[in-house]
Structure 1
Amino acid sequence: MLLRELAHARTGDKGDVSNIAVIAYRAEDYYRLQRGLTEDRVRARLCLEPDHPIRRHELPGLKALNFVIEGALAGGVTRSASLDAHGKCLGAWLLGVELED
């Protein structure tokens, strides 16, 4: 099952740091997100090198996981030549992760 069937994502940025919140549509799916969406899964899906630190914060009251990814934006808005310097597409791309049933 694709992550997008269980959750939606919101992204933000601060300099070269991307922030991706993944929020379960239904409270009962939060624990599935907790089990299946690890820092390593996020790193693999976003094709990030191992030296990009990723911190996962669990927000059970909101049924959400928040990922803070350093160095993900090629320098940030004012320094990047990327078409997506804010990293808005990262959340949509992450929602394509396949979760085990």
Structure 2
Amino acid sequence: MVKVKLKEIAQSRSGDKGNTVNVALFAPNQEIYNIFLTEVTPEKVKEHFNGLVEGEVVRFEMPNIFALNFVCSEALNGGGSSSIRLDNLGKCFGSNLLRMEIEVDEQLVLETIK
């Protein structure tokens, strides 16, 4: 097993509405998706966004497209018009999630990135 950043084996997309952010994480294949199911939990995502996401993180599984969607409430310091954050939009959350590290079988990583 090796630690890898999600950006090495996944893609993401994110957006916001009010004070809520949603982040979708896309696996390239079934094997990586299965690892995401155990390694990328709502609890770990909330911890990864420590200091940014103050509310609940809910995960929705989409096995037909090898994706997970995380809905993070109370994540934008009140939302676009209320926040004093420099970047108060949810678009950057996808890139941020891709910095999260997980453990993956080294051979699977090599097969995925070739």
Q: TM-score, normalised by structure 1?
A: 0.90
Count of residue pairs brought into register by the alignment: 101
Partner residue in 2 for 1:85 = 88
Give the Cα–Cα distance (whole angstroms) in 2 for the partners of residues 50 and 75 of structure 1: 11
Partner residue in 1 for 2:33 = 30
Q: Is the 8 A contact 2:60 2:69 kept in 1?
A: yes
Q: Is the 8 A contact 2:52 2:75 kept in 1?
A: no
- Structure 1 residue runs of 4 or more that deviate by more than 2 Å after TM superposition: 25-28, 48-51
Flag the structure with larger Rg: 2
Change (3 A) 1:4 1:62: same
Aligned-pair identity (%): 38
Which 5+ residue runs of structure 1 have no aligned equivalent? none
Give the Cα–Cα distance (whole angstroms) in 1 for the partners of residues 98 and 43 of structure 2: 15
Which 5+ residue runs of structure 2 have no aligned equivalent? 105-114
What is the identity, as a one-letter code, of the residue corresponding to 1:62? Answer: I
Matched ranges for 1:64-83 at <5 A: 64-83=67-86
Change (3 A) 1:51 1:72: closer
Q: Is the 8 A contact 1:6 1:26 kept in 2?
A: no
Partner residue in 2 for 1:9 = 12
**Deviation of 1:30 (Å):** 0.7
- SS of residue matched to 1:61: helix
Give the Cα–Cα distance (whole angstroms) in 2 for the partners of residues 50 and 20 of structure 1: 12
| CA RMSD between the two structures | 1.7
Partner of residue 21 from structure 1, selected from 18, 24, 37: 24
- SS of residue matched to 2:11: strand
Give the Cα–Cα distance (whole angstroms) in 2 for the partners of residues 49 and 71 of structure 1: 8
The answer to which structure has the higher helix fraction is 2
